[in-house]
């Protein structure tokens, strides 16, 4: 399934990030709003972590695949305009370990589980993805969340937006199953939209998704979530994920680490800091 063990992807431009926002329904201003991002601990816009992960995987694949599980640790952010080096550090028949690096720093370590898919998810003809309805951002702090709170978000699959988000050429098919890509994107959106921008640094994702490989007509994925564990001491929010409709069966959890003010300087070590 892997065509090569190393690839360089990027740079991730504004058009790519906007396309991923349209595909994932995650409109966290840390990724999209220049003014908002300048006031964050990073000082500028950040590329979506799951976008970098899937784009890197796409770059080393040579045949259509299902992405049955993702386990990722986001070490440092990829900033708008930066390129990323992707390296396969180990692999078996179904599992691949990846390291993502950017300007000499580790951006992400990830393990992905793959299996062959029946056909490529060819980009569709949709083009007007900018007018899709946006989700309402939550500006609450960690203290305002209630354990056990539930909700759901829906993602209409737009293969044109996905293709742009993954930096694919117009005539190149997307090799990862599009419905699965949407499900994993929603996993990160759950945390990103609940604790947007400078309130949280999203540090990890561990989730699984299964779909009938013969069903290539899926047009939307709806993901339910439940705030399963809120730790004030550890400043973490863990979210259980489950299917609320459609053929995608997903489970797992997403975790946000909410940094305290005195941790920001340490967090900025190793990548560009907020400009004066």
Q: Domain ranges for the chain, please list them.
A: 10-125+152-267
User: Which residues have C-beta within 8 Å of that of residue 82, sequence separation ≥ 6?
Assistant: 10, 11, 12, 47, 102, 103
DSSP 3-state of 228: strand
**Rounded-to-integer distance, Cα 120 and Cα 64, Å:** 5
Which letter does DSSP use for residue 272 in this model?
A: P
DSSP 3-state of 24: helix
**Can you give the pLDDT at residue 220?**
79
**Rounded-to-integer distance, Cα 33 and Cα 12, Å:** 15
H or E stretch including 68? strand 65-74
Contact 112, 166 (CB under 8 A): no
pTM over 0.75: yes
**Can you give the pLDDT at residue 120?**
52
pLDDT digits (tens, 9 = 90+) for 169-196: 877 888 998 888 988 888 877 766 665 4
Q: Residue 116: count other Cβ atoms within 10 Å of its Cβ.
A: 10
Q: What is the pLDDT along the chain (276 residues), one digit of tens a residue?
A: 687 889 999 999 999 999 998 888 888 888 888 998 888 778 899 999 999 999 999 999 989 898 989 999 998 999 999 999 999 999 888 899 999 999 999 999 999 999 888 655 555 545 444 444 444 444 455 556 566 777 777 778 888 889 999 999 877 888 998 888 988 888 877 766 665 444 456 778 888 887 765 566 677 787 777 877 767 666 666 777 776 666 677 777 777 665 554 444 444 444 443 333
CATH architecture of structural domain 10-125+152-267: Roll (3.10)
Which letter does DSSP use for residue 153 in this model?
A: E
Q: What angle do CA 242, 244, 249 make, to 5 degrees?
A: 55
**Which of 82, 5, 24, 34 has its CA nearest to residue 202?**
24
**Can you give the pLDDT at residue 130?**
47
User: Which residues have C-beta within 8 Å of that of residue 209, sequence separation ≥ 6?
Assistant: 67, 68, 69, 180, 183, 184, 248, 249, 250
**Can you give the pLDDT at residue 19?**
92
**Can you give the pLDDT at residue 14?**
95
**Can you give the pLDDT at residue 10?**
92
Buried b (16+ CB within 10 A) or exposed e, 145-179: eeeeeeeebbbbbbbbbbbbbbbbeeeeebbbbbb
């Amino acid at each position: 399934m892997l065509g090569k063990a190393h690839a360089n992807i990027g740079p991730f431009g504004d058009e790519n990030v906007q396309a991923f926002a349209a595909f994932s329904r995650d409109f966290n201003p840390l990724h999209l709003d220049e003014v908002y991002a300048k006031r964050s601990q990073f000082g500028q816009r950040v590329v979506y972590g799951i976008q970098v992960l899937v784009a890197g995987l796409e770059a080393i694949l040579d045949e259509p695949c299902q992405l049955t599980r993702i386990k990722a640790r986001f070490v440092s952010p990829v900033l708008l305009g930066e390129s990323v080096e992707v390296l396969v550090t180990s692999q078996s028949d179904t599992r691949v370990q990846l390291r993502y690096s950017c300007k000499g720093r580790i951006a992400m370590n990830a393990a992905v589980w793959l299996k062959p898919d029946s056909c490529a998810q060819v980009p569709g003809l949709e083009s007007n993805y900018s007018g899709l309805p946006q989700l309402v951002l939550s500006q609450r702090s960690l203290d305002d969340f209630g354990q056990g709170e539930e909700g759901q978000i829906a993602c209409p699959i737009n293969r044109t937006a996905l293709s742009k988000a993954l930096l694919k050429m117009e005539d190149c098919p997307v090799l990862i199953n599009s419905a699965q890509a949407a499900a994993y994107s929603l996993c990160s959106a759950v945390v990103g939209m609940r604790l947007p921008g400078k309130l949280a640094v999203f540090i990890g994702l561990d989730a699984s998704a299964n779909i009938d490989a013969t069903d290539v007509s899926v047009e939307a994925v709806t993901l339910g979530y439940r705030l399963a564990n809120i730790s004030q001491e550890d400043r973490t929010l863990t979210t259980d994920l489950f299917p609320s409709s459609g053929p995608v069966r997903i489970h797992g959890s997403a975790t946000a680490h909410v940094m305290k003010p005195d941790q920001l300087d340490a967090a900025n070590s190793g990548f560009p800091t907020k400009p004066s």
